[in-house]
Structure 1
Amino acid sequence: MMGDDGAGPLLADLMTRAPVAGWTVVNGGSAPENVVHRVRALRPKRVVVVDAADMSLKPGELRLVDPAIIADMFIMSTHNLPLSFVIDQLKEDVKEVLFIGIQPDVVAFYFPMTAPVKAAVDTLYAQLADWRGDGVFTRLAPSEEDA
């Protein structure tokens, strides 16, 4: 319903229909803060949060965003609470929490997902089987000014 903001739920749907070995999906939808308790109950060693994020990149570009800078960045969000809040809540019980942002093009009611964002979701899904958090994606990290 919100165009490219459906990137995370689309990935969750793909993973539900065709599970990827070694991964468990929890779809946070538009209120990821409401599923933190479900994630905690799974007792994972790593959580990967995937969402559309305005990072001033070309539509469909993927970035592994350093959680330490999410609160400092202006990340477009249609959620009730900021993603930094959700990530901080997860970090209380999970050793490693990663955030993968997908640059949206159009986020508006009743717009379809754009082709570049759909392709980014497909790319991410295809890489999950072999991904171990080892640098497959370019990292969006604090700038020298932020350090």
Structure 2
Amino acid sequence: MTDVLLCVGNSMMGDDGAGPLLAEMCAARPQGQWRVFDGGSAPENEVVAIRELRPQRLLIVDATDMGLNPGEIRIVDPDDIAEMFMMTTHNMPLNYLVDQLKEDVGEVIFLGIQPDIVGFYYPMTPKIKEAVEVVYQRLAAWEGDGGFTPL
């Protein structure tokens, strides 16, 4: 069974770098059996490679404005992404990416981390670093929704 972790975000934009930070952590010390892709700000570039793997599960992690306190983590229904998030820092809205992958992936899980500051050349805030650490720690024994609350 193949599980894929797609980390999304721009590390040059403060808290939007949550996904790339998670990818770095996994590259340094892998957790579980996840095949990790750092999609950066152009996750659509990873579609072909992910499709070829035909994973049972795809976990997408991204800093996502959900109107919560900074650092809060929620599972977001992939079908709701287009309606909830009108603005994105990525080249292509994530709902298009999810739609492209649904036919080749058993389950798509979208995990959002509420950012505090998203702006060019801002450092990542401590609450977001802590949230990334929480996600990282749960990867090794991930089951179902990873223990995270749905939005």
TM-score above 0.5, yes or no: yes
CA RMSD of aligned residues (A): 1.1
Out of 68-77 and 86-95, give the one that drifted further: 68-77
- Of residues 27, 38, 49, the one that matches 1:38 is 49
- Of residues 85, 96, 107, the one that matches 2:118 is 107
Runs of 4 or more above 6 Å deviation: none
Q: Given that residues 54 and 76 in structure 1 are in contact (C-alpha distance below 8 angstroms), is that contact kept between their aligned partners in structure 2?
A: no
Partner of 2:108: 97
> How far apart, CA to CA, are the structure 2 residues paired with 1:66 and 1:97?
9
Q: What is the TM-score when the length of structure 2 is the normalising length?
A: 0.89
Q: Given that residues 53 and 76 in structure 1 are in contact (C-alpha distance below 8 angstroms), is that contact kept between their aligned partners in structure 2?
A: no
- Of residues 122, 147, 150, the one that matches 1:136 is 147
How many aligned positions are there?
A: 140
Partner of 1:78: 89
1:3 aligns with 2:14: yes
Q: What is the TM-score when the length of structure 1 is the normalising length?
A: 0.91
Which blocks of at least 5 consecutive residues in structure 2 are unaligned? 1-11
Q: Deviations over 1:19-59 (max 9, x none)?
A: 11211101100000111111112221000000000000000
| AA in 1 matched with 2:126 | A
- Of residues 71, 76, 84, the one that matches 1:65 is 76
Q: Given that residues 138 and 146 in structure 2 are in contact (C-alpha distance below 8 angstroms), is that contact kept between their aligned partners in structure 1?
A: no
Which blocks of at least 5 consecutive residues in structure 1 are unaligned? 141-147
What secondary structure does 2:105 align onto? coil
1:119 Cα offset (Å): 0.3
Q: Given that residues 58 and 109 in structure 2 are in contact (C-alpha distance below 8 angstroms), is that contact kept between their aligned partners in structure 1?
A: yes
| AA in 2 matched with 1:11 | L
Greater relative contact order (Cα < 8 A, sep 6+): 1
Q: Deviations over 1:112-147 (max 9, x none)?
A: 00000000000100011111124500001xxxxxxx
The structure-2 alpha-carbon separation of the partners of 1:45 and 1:112, relative to structure 1 and needing over 3 Å to count, comes to: same
Identity fraction in percent: 61
1:22 aligns with 2:6: no
